[in-house]
Structure 1
Amino acid sequence: MTATTSTTGTSAADPAADATTEATTAAAGTPRTARSGPRPLRLPGGVSLRVERRALTVGVLLTAAALAMSVVLIGTGDFEIAPWDVVQTLLGNGTPATDFIVNDLRLPRALVALLVGAALGISGAVFQSVSRNPLGSPDLLGFGYGSAVGALVVIVLFKGGATEVAVGALAGGLLAGVAVYLLAYKQGIQGYRLVLVGIGASAMLIAVIQYLLTKAQLIEATRAMVWLTGSLAGRDWAQVWPLLAVCAVVFPLILGQGRALRMMEMGDDAAYAVGVRVERTRMLLMLAAVVLTTAASAAAGPISFVALAAPQLARRLTRSPGGNLVNAALMGSVLLMVSDWASQRAFGADQLPVGVVTGLVGGVYLLWLLVTERKAGRI
């Protein structure tokens, strides 16, 4: 087993180790090209990366799928626009009508779907790796419900606008994350303890949500229920730029800890043995993942099950150990955009909030996951 790690299937490698491996392979009489596993890719400056072909191929295909779905999603609506016309408009060659529809109305929605899906996918990968549990998802650990409580407090008690609701969602999610971490901490964080504390916190937060809804006026309760469902309708550039800024800061931070995260999946003792500062790294990664989850909830509401399913689907496609962070983010984007397209097209004239579609699909996936985990003897 190599001690290097991967995000899209690539990781930093030691050139000396590569040379040793090549020498050993040659001595054994096995051609270098016949050797299986990740192959080194040498970059300028003495940097070497180990490239896992399958993971890299999956990443390229998911990127292509995300771009294709973006074009399809932008062209979907009451006024249909052909994919080629969408591309021409994005390149600045569209008509005034298509330019307004694409750039002002639909492009922000597609970008929010792309960013929210990526944020949920990578945060789900972090929590599942930290907890070493496939159920270690922000949906089930209570962070989404924490954002919902924060948003509902602003809506019901303070009659706040969209900006105030987003701030409330961020604050609520962060407070829920800190509370779950402190309650689960006992000489470190254990995966099942984190999941159990998160499930308990979710139940309490759901009770708070229900209480706030009973205290709300009809208009406020309707507005709160729309937000709680999770929707991409009406999203504009005011949601894109803050979410993009958060992702631009937090994504590199998480990807930079990819090797440490993979070592921590092997257990705290193994991670300590290779020099990982386990508790500090775990706290940093969990904080970063909570920030991404709450930022996504602030932009589109608490969209369920994307963070649970995306990392596992990415891992099944790549067949690669570790968090598969970039592929998990890409898978999250594809899942959310496909769900948003289905919410607009699959139910005739009735357009459903995207959270309804992800909830339906995610519920089936969760049942399947529980059955397979039980058969495997892990739960």
Structure 2
Amino acid sequence: MSVRVAGRSVSVCVGIVVVLLVVMCATLMTGEYQLSVGEVLGAVTGTGEGSADFIVNTLRMPRLLTALFVGAALAASGAILQGLTRNPLGSPDFIGFNNGAATGALLVIIVFGGGMYQIAVGALLGAIITALLIYVLAFSRGVHGFRFVLIGIGLNALALAVNSYLITRASLYDALTAQAWLVGSVNGRGWEHVAAAGLAILVLLPLALYHSRSLAMMELGDDSAKALGVGVQRSRAVLIVVSVLLAAFATAAAGPIVFVALAAPQLARRLTKSASPGLISSALMGGLLLIAGDFAIQRAFPTAQLPVGTATGCIGGLYLIWLLASEWRGKARYS
């Protein structure tokens, strides 16, 4: 049985990669200036010249790779949290990491008047401080998933209230800047954003994979995991730190993009038909969702330059309604 499931997981990952490559090629080729396959390949391999090289390597490629890495980081963060909490609603969107990061960024924008790099640092610190608060408040002879989720939801609401207060007290210019950042966007992203998000994936995802067996065991319950030799509290602390940092770096690079961390692991789990969302399949699905969402909103509104957060918000809202409705129907069927 394990071979069949593993084989299906590999097939699903390969399929997602193929679709990813197709969407990436379409993103690089289409737009206000249409490019041929040869022009794109020339620019990517360094043999291109003129306008095609500028369009691909300066305008389109950084935006594309930022979306890929941010989506993958958010999805991996969501997969870890959903595994730790054994709850499909366990994601940075609901537990407060994203809004905590937003609080840090808004303080930099509105109170300190910082620039792009200062905003990124503020978002990182906001997410880390929020996670520490949740962990400390949830700690009672260890940290248990249900308590962690409840306290996270409470701090999420508190951070949202603080963010709203900060915006109401800001000047018009700062309020518009803050609101634009809060939607989440990959517009105008450069290679520095690619480097930050890519480095987070390169360092943190292997660490999460190293602890993936412990994560799978903890989904059976703490007692079962301890009986199987898992150091539950140590593994949980490491995985929470990894999840927070993945969400923090993603938010710092693109703002608090919603629902990717929630939906991507669940979609990956349904495709692989596994008991829990896999980290690799979830990361690939997250990258695909964000790239496809950005591609769709660029082509649907070519002159508006709408942020990708509006697309993920609409798609994610519909997905959340479907998820809750299906869960309710399932409970009603067996009650």
Q: TM-score, normalised by structure 1?
A: 0.85
Q: 1:224 to 1:76 in 2, by over 3 A?
A: farther
Q: Does 1:198 align with 2:152?
A: yes
Which residue does 2:226 correspond to in 1? 272
Which residue does 1:99 correspond to in 2? 53
Which residue does 2:290 correspond to in 1? 336
Q: Which amino acid letter does the alignment assign opposite residue 107 of structure 2?
A: V
Q: 1:68 to 1:285 in 2, by over 3 A?
A: same
Distance in 1 (alpha carbons) for counterparts of 2:147 and 2:300: 40
SS of 1:52's partner is: helix
Residue pair 1:152, 1:224 contacting (<8 A) in 2 also: yes
Q: Which of 47, 64, 70 is 2:18 aligned to?
A: 64
Residue pair 2:268, 2:277 contacting (<8 A) in 1 also: no
Residue pair 2:100, 2:126 contacting (<8 A) in 1 also: yes
Q: Which of 236, 243, 259 is 1:282 aligned to?
A: 236
Which digits, 9 at most, give the CA deviation of each residue in 1:128-147, with x for residues without a partner? Answer: 00000000011000100001
Q: 1:37 to 1:242 in 2, by over 3 A?
A: closer
Give the number of aligned pairs. Answer: 332
Which residue does 1:29 correspond to in 2? none
Residue pair 2:187, 2:305 contacting (<8 A) in 1 also: no
SS of 1:234's partner is: coil
Q: Which amino acid letter does the alignment assign opposite residue 238 of structure 1?
A: E
Residue pair 2:108, 2:119 contacting (<8 A) in 1 also: yes
Q: Which amino acid letter does the alignment assign opposite residue 225 of structure 2?
A: A
Q: Where do residues 106-255 of structure 1 align in structure 2 (5 Å cutoff)?
A: 106-255=60-209
Which residue does 2:307 correspond to in 1? 353
Q: Which amino acid letter does the alignment assign opposite residue 38 of structure 1?
A: V
Answer with 1 or 2: which has the greater Rg.
1
Which digits, 9 at most, give the CA deviation of each residue in 1:294-339, with x for residues without a partner? Answer: 1000000000000000000000000012331100000000000000
Which digits, 9 at most, give the CA deviation of each residue in 1:72-103, with x for residues without a partner? Answer: 22233321223453233212332321011101
Q: Which of 41, 53, 56 is 2:7 aligned to?
A: 53
Q: Where do residues 2-41 of structure 1 align in structure 2 (5 Å cutoff)?
A: 37-38=2-3
SS of 1:376's partner is: helix
Distance in 1 (alpha carbons) for counterparts of 2:307 and 2:154: 27
Which residue does 1:46 correspond to in 2? none
Distance in 1 (alpha carbons) for counterparts of 2:170 and 2:37: 44
Q: Which amino acid letter does the alignment assign opposite residue 28 of structure 2?
A: I
Root mean square deviation, CA, Å = 1.5
Identity of aligned residues (%): 48
Which residue does 2:320 correspond to in 1? 366
Report the CA distance between 1:345 and its aligned residue.
1.1
Distance in 2 (alpha carbons) for counterparts of 1:302 and 1:256: 27
Which residue does 2:281 correspond to in 1? 327
Report the CA distance between 1:70 and its aligned residue.
1.8
Q: Which amino acid letter does the alignment assign opposite residue 95 of structure 1?
A: E
Structure 1 stretches lacking a partner, 5+ long = 1-35, 40-50
Distance in 2 (alpha carbons) for counterparts of 1:83 and 1:263: 46
Distance in 1 (alpha carbons) for counterparts of 2:274 and 2:83: 13
Distance in 2 (alpha carbons) for counterparts of 1:170 and 1:295: 6
Task: Choose 175-184 or 106-115, whichever is displaced more.
Answer: 175-184
SS of 2:331's partner is: coil
Which digits, 9 at most, give the CA deviation of each residue in 1:35-92, with x for residues without a partner? Answer: x5407xxxxxxxxxxx711110001111122222222222333212234532332123
Report the CA distance between 1:370 and its aligned residue.
1.1
Residue pair 1:314, 1:327 contacting (<8 A) in 2 also: yes
Residue pair 1:345, 1:351 contacting (<8 A) in 2 also: no
Report the CA distance between 1:348 and its aligned residue.
5.2
Which digits, 9 at most, give the CA deviation of each residue in 1:185-205, with x for residues without a partner? Answer: 222333322222121111111
Report the CA distance between 1:342 and its aligned residue.
1.2
Q: Which of 204, 226, 250 is 1:296 aligned to?
A: 250
Distance in 1 (alpha carbons) for counterparts of 2:327 and 2:139: 25
Structure 2 stretches lacking a partner, 5+ long = none
Which digits, 9 at most, give the CA deviation of each residue in 1:226-263, with x for residues without a partner? Answer: 10010100000111112222221111100101111000
Distance in 1 (alpha carbons) for counterparts of 2:231 and 2:27: 43
Which residue does 1:10 correspond to in 2? none
